[in-house]
């Protein structure tokens, strides 16, 4: 259902089914399509209320019909993630689209979200199907195992999946060396078994500085 045309355009072939995508990300379509704006981005009223309270910003639209729809957003690189009943945690600004077999919601993540102005929650995607996530530059998928925990700069973090535990620790970023740090630098530490998606560019935010 999901396929990439190049690295920056997502093509979705539909035969009467639906896909949820970031509002405004549709760049072209053929066939017969119907578009509907979704409120909140989470499932049902609870998802809407949670997002309103936490400030987690994610506006989705539902596209349904027969034909092919193409999606892109600010020339970002697109990465396809296959879910087999597991859960993907992803920054809301990095989620482009999910197919109809997946549910979206929110999950508490603590200080990292607050430091970036995205509230205290991040977006979750779970079920069986495909999701498309975006990155500023080609994403790198890093493996985490019990022997090799992983430490990530919050500004470079995109998403993670698997049996992973998050913790926050003080650390040093390159900006600290360059004199650009505005406070106490911190990092995200992942332990367990899973993968973490990172981008080779930090967000335009205070990121790792609290």
pLDDT of residue 184: 47
- Listed in sequence order, the residues at least 6 apart from 77 whose beta carbon sits closer than 8 Å to its beta carbon are 7, 8, 134, 135, 136, 137, 138, 139, 199
Produce one character per residue of 121-144: b if its CB has 16 or more CB atoms within 10 Å, e if not: bbbbbbbebbbbbbbbeebeeeeb
pLDDT band, residue 41 (cuts 50/70/90): very low
Rounded CA-CA distance 156/152 in Å is: 7
DSSP string, 170-194: E---HHHHTT---S-BEEEEEEEEE
Rounded CA-CA distance 28/183 in Å is: 44
State the pTM of this model: 0.81
pLDDT of residue 90: 93
pLDDT at residue 64 greater than cutoff 50: yes
pLDDT at residue 105 greater than cutoff 90: no
pLDDT tens figures, 21-30: 999 999 999 9
pLDDT at residue 122 greater than cutoff 60: yes
Q: How far does the chain reach from its first CA to its final CA, in angstroms?
A: 41
pLDDT of residue 14: 94
pLDDT band, residue 60 (cuts 50/70/90): confident
pLDDT at residue 114 greater than cutoff 80: no
Q: How crowded is residue 8: how many other Cβ atoms within 10 Å of its Cβ?
A: 14
């Amino acid at each position: 259902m999901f396929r990439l045309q190049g690295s920056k355009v997502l093509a979705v072939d539909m035969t009467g089914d639906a896909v949820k995508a970031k509002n405004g990300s549709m760049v072209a379509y053929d066939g017969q399509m119907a578009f509907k704006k979704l409120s909140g981005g989470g499932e049902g009223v609870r998802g809407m209320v949670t997002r309103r309270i936490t400030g987690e910003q994610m506006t989705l639209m539902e596209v349904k019909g027969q034909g092919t729809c193409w999606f892109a957003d600010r020339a970002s690189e697109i990465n396809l993630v296959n879910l087999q009943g597991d859960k993907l945690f992803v920054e809301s600004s990095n989620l482009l689209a999910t197919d109809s077999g997946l549910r979206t919601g929110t999950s508490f993540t603590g200080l990292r979200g607050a430091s970036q102005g995205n509230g205290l929650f991040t977006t979750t995607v779970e079920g069986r199907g495909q999701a498309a996530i975006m990155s500023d530059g080609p994403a790198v998928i890093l493996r985490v195992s019990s022997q090799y925990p992983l430490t990530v700069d919050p500004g470079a973090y995109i998403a993670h999946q698997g049996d992973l535990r998050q913790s926050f620790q003080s650390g040093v970023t390159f900006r600290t060396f360059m004199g650009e740090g505005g406070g106490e630098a911190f990092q995200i530490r992942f332990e367990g078994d899973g993968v973490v998606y990172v981008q080779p560019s930090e967000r335009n935010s205070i990121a790792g500085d609290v």
